[in-house]
């Protein structure tokens, strides 16, 4: 690729990445952090397979699947917001960002219902190693959802192409982590 064709000239090796290069550094580091947790989960599962299998039965994979569909649709909304703001359709971009935030809140509500059901059944992070991972990984991910919602609100207020593109990249990273988390915790049994 010629230097003048690079999306971010002057950023060294990061100059070939689209959008805000620092967001890609964050995405890479978050993927590595979650991969390390997944490796720990895998090792613990091998050490206590029967316990993990019995505990996994207590989860509701349909709720997890519903949340996957909600989050991926929210991702579409922020991607459409980027398209709109780059075409200088600010009002439309804000509408898409509003829809993305509404779906992000819905994700949180579904997650809250799921947590409430677990706590009502006296299942807490201290119950066993599996639920330690379940609460730890999903709560860590949920903290990213909350931060992402704050970012989306911020760029809805301060709407520019660069701002929306940066917040959208963070939101897609939240999608990406959930895509990997869902089969690990809910589906593979």
Partner 1 sequence: MTSLPGTRRLLVTWAMLMALTLISMISARLDQGSWQALPLWSAALILLATGFKAQRLLMVYLNLRAATPAWKGTFMGLVVLTLMLIAGGYLVARLTG
CA separation for the pair 57, 52 (Å, rounded): 9
Q: Which is nearer to partner 1, 46 or 120 (CB)?
A: 46
HSE-up (13 A, CA, CB side) for residue 146 = 10
126 vs 64: CA distance, rounded Å: 21
Given a contact cutoff of 8 angstroms between Cβ atoms, the answer to whether 155 and 70 are in contact is no
* Least spacing, CB of residue 89 vs partner 1, in Å: 12
Regarding 125 and contact with partner 1 (CB under 8 A), the answer is: no
Position 63 contacts partner 1 (CB under 8 A): no
Interface stretch with partner 1, choices 63-71, 104-112, 114-122, 123-131 (CB under 8 A): 63-71
| DSSP assignment letter at 3 | G
Pull the structure tokens for residue 79: 């991607």
Residues 91 to 110 in contact with partner 1, rule: CB under 8 A = none
Alpha carbon 38 to chain centroid, angstroms: 15
State the binding string over 26-55 for partner 1 (x if CB under 8 A, else -).
-xx--xx-xx--xx-xxx-xx--xx-xx--
- The CA distance from 58 to 35, in Å, is 24
Contact 38, 32 (CB under 8 A): no
Answer yes or no whether residue 16 interacts with partner 1 by CB under 8 A: yes
Binding site for partner 1 (CB under 8 A): 1, 7, 16-19, 24, 27-28, 31-32, 34-35, 38-39, 41-43, 45-46, 49-50, 52-53, 57, 61-62, 65, 68-69, 72-73, 75-76, 79-80, 82-83, 86, 161, 165, 169, 172-173, 175-176, 179-180, 182-184, 186-189
């Amino acid at each position: 690729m010629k230097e003048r064709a690079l999306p971010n000239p002057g950023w060294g090796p990061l100059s070939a990445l689209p959008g805000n290069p620092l967001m890609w550094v964050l995405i890479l580091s978050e993927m590595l952090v979650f991969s390390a947790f997944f490796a720990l989960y895998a090792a613990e599962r091998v050490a206590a397979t029967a316990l993990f299998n019995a505990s996994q039965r207590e989860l509701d994979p349909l709720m997890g699947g519903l949340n996957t569909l909600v989050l991926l649709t929210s991702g579409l909304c922020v991607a459409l917001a980027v398209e709109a703001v780059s075409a200088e359709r600010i009002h439309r971009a804000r509408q898409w960002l509003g829809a993305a935030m509404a779906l992000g809140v819905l994700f949180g509500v579904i997650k809250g219902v799921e947590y409430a059901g677990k706590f009502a059944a006296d299942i807490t992070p201290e119950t066993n190693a599996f639920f330690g991972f379940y609460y730890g990984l999903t709560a860590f991910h949920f903290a990213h959802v909350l931060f992402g919602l704050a970012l989306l609100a911020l760029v809805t207020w301060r709407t520019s192409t660069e701002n929306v593109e940066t917040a959208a990249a963070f939101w897609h990273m939240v999608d990406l982590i959930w895509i990997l988390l869902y089969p690990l915790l809910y589906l593979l049994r």
